[in-house]
A = this chain, B = another copy of it.
């Protein structure tokens, strides 16, 4: 028997402006691929009625958040709309060490910080909405459910979108099935990337013995 080739887990970042379909894509990816798990962020913003502690976020106080920063317990953290968001470090490190992949639903600020820490383990995808009209329509729909105005949401979307050149891949979400298949292809390809594989040298030595 040839020795087995293993691989390091990877960190997959999906970023996009609100209204580009990122949340749906993340959910479909997690449902279809048991080898990837979602990194659950911690936040100081209040829990919404539909949200579940530990599934959507870890809802923590401002004091707790600050103490996690002091303990260096976040892989990245940022302020968005006056609230704090951060990625707890230890669940991510445990998953990667076990050869599992971790999905991050974070913005450009989080991605920049993660990139500095994760280096080659990070794979980043930026999701774009298909058109101005469609982006506006989705932002209007969302603004109805919250106290944030459409114009504030549009400004935030423009800020987020301006960071697309920092990502490894860019996908235009014209059709959710097509976009999902592209995300899956990127994940499958990155799993076969030579720099992520462990034990190829031994496997090859076994081939030529």
Binding-face segment, A87-95, A110-118, A142-150, A162-170: A162-170
A50 on the interface (CB 8 Å rule)? no
For the complex, give the distance between the alpha carbons of A167 and B172 in Å.
29
- Contacting B at CB under 8 A, from A177-209, are 181-182, 184-186, 188-190, 192-194, 197, 200, 203-204, 206-209
Please determine whether B186 and A165 come into contact, CB atoms closer than 8 angstroms.
Answer: no
Please determine whether A169 and B182 come into contact, CB atoms closer than 8 angstroms.
Answer: no
Taking residues whose C-beta sits less than 8 angstroms from the other chain, chain A's interface range is 35 or more
A52 on the interface (CB 8 Å rule)? no
A122 on the interface (CB 8 Å rule)? no
A161 on the interface (CB 8 Å rule)? yes
A9 on the interface (CB 8 Å rule)? no
Binding-face segment, A28-36, A59-67, A123-131: A123-131
Please determine whether A161 and B194 come into contact, CB atoms closer than 8 angstroms.
Answer: no
For the complex, give the distance between the alpha carbons of A158 and B206 in Å.
11
Please determine whether B197 and A192 come into contact, CB atoms closer than 8 angstroms.
Answer: no
A96 on the interface (CB 8 Å rule)? no
Please determine whether B170 and A194 come into contact, CB atoms closer than 8 angstroms.
Answer: yes
> Given B188, B190, B208, which contacts A132 in the complex, CB threshold below 8 Å?
B208
Please determine whether A204 and B128 come into contact, CB atoms closer than 8 angstroms.
Answer: yes
A interface vs B, CB < 8 Å? Answer: 1-2, 5, 125-126, 128-132, 135, 157-158, 161-162, 164-165, 167-172, 181-182, 184-186, 188-190, 192-194, 197, 200, 203-204, 206-209
Besides the known contacts A128-B203, A168-B194, A182-B189, 4 further A-B residue pairs in the complex with CB atoms under 8 A apart: A2-B130, A157-B208, A169-B192, A182-B192
Q: A-B pairs with the 8 shortest C-beta distances?
A: A189-B189, A185-B188, A185-B185, A186-B189, A169-B192, A158-B208, A170-B194, A185-B189
